[in-house]
Amino acid sequence: MMQRIDLRGGLPARAELLRLMPRATGDVSSATAAARELVDAVREHGAAALREQAERFDGGAPEHVRVPAAEIAAAVAGLEPSVRAALDEAIRRVRAASAAQVPSASVTTLGDGAEVHQRWQPMRRVGLYVPGGKAVYPSSVVMNVVPAQVAGVGSIALVSPPQRDHGGAVHPTILAAAGLLGVQEVYAMGGAGAVGALAYGVAEIGLEPVDLVTGPGNNFVAAAKRLVRGVVGIDSEAGASEILVIADDTADAGYVAADLISQAEHDEQAGSVLVTTSESFADAVEAAVPERTAVLGTATRLQAALDGPQSAIVLVDSLADAATVSNAYGPEHLEIQTADDDAVLADIDAAGAAFVGPHSPVSLGDYLAGSNHVLPTGGQARFGAGLSASTFLRPQQVVRYTATALAEVVPHIVALSTEEQLPAHGAAVSERTNR
């Protein structure tokens, strides 16, 4: 049974509301010490540490930490036709949607001969993390690689954990997805150690340090990203998956139950939250869960997630209150299934991605919507954004002033630099106008 949180009768103050929101008990902070040990080991001992960690956590060290090109080509050749067709279509859709995320260059003219140019430069080199623990995620290869390519990144390294069932090699479907996208630099490594390897490099296997690390992972991956931030950039500290559904009694209880279940099967720490104005609808959703979970091979895992402290049914008085609750939670995935979806959406300001209407389930976004499924978790949607082409771009301002344009502002610069007791600043411009 999912826990229930009854917020009818008036919402509490925001601080209390944040405290009441269901969250997983294990967080990034609790994994930091262990992640630091793993990152430091890779930084100091390189490939030997990666192999030791693979033996310890993945059930076997890979024969080659860097995957040979022939192995990638073989994976592409061996890809089941229906999976290849699905990946090709996903790549096409994500590439089209990502292209719309590239900002245009612009020029602001502030006076005759006074211009500030805005340009967007791609990262030189990025490292992309593709998880591979309880499931295999070729879709994450697409979601990481495509926006980086669209942004114009010239050098891409992809890492994914070695698989026990494949003799310590990266899962062949992961390799095939990389091959379809033209990525040839792939490493069999996972967890916190892989993040450390991307950040600091491992010379003996030809892995040069990257400038940015992106991609989802467990709390140890998220903790490692936190530890290397500043050495490299990161997209976010993505943790366990989560979904919040806002629904009223006009929604289909079976649809909502299926969607809550779909995200719960990612991990025992995954969060599934329903916020509804109808107690009878909440009952109907809960009643629809058992029959849908019993037939799934992931039933044990997803039931643990649904019964955990990170999942709940929240009862509220109105859809406006539901939006307030959702904004406080800041869900990775938000679904809206109500009598007036657009009115609810207008009140939403914090969500990694929003899925509007009964025929826009999160599973669509996981694979084929064209949107990106690498999204902020753990409430980070309140201040962070999902992966996009712009993640791989750095905005740069280019200043171009003529001598006349500079002369017009010299008095202002001198006045401000004098006030700030930085006379050399004023002198640097006066030097150009006193000759």
pLDDT of amino acid 27: 67
| Cα 244 to Cα 329: distance, rounded to the nearest angstrom | 9
| Residue 136 three-state SS | coil
| Cα 235 to Cα 214: distance, rounded to the nearest angstrom | 5
pLDDT of amino acid 433: 87
Residues with a known catalytic role: 332-333
Q: What is the mean pLDDT of each run of 10 residues along the chain (435 residues)?
A: 95 95 80 94 96 88 93 97 98 98 96 97 97 84 98 97 88 97 96 97 96 91 94 88 96 98 91 98 97 90 93 98 98 97 98 98 97 92 94 97 96 97 97 84
pLDDT of amino acid 164: 83
C-alpha dist (Å) from residue 54 to 41, 60, 163, 183, 324: 13, 6, 9, 23, 44
Q: What percent of the chain has pLDDT over 90?
A: 85
DSSP-assigned letters across all residues of 268-336: TT-EEEEEES-HHHHHHHHHHHHHHHTT-TTHHHHHHHHHSTT-EEEE-SSHHHHHHHHHHH--SEEEE
| Beta-ladder partners of 66 | 187
pLDDT tens digit sequence for 210-233: 999 999 888 899 899 999 999 999
DSSP strand E in 112-238: where?
A: 114-122, 125-129, 155-160, 186-188, 212-214, 233-234
| Cα 182 to Cα 155: distance, rounded to the nearest angstrom | 11
pLDDT tens digit sequence for 395-408: 999 999 999 999 99
Q: Is 186 exposed, middle or buried (0-12, 13-18, 19+ CB in 10 A)?
A: buried
| Cα 5 to Cα 375: distance, rounded to the nearest angstrom | 26
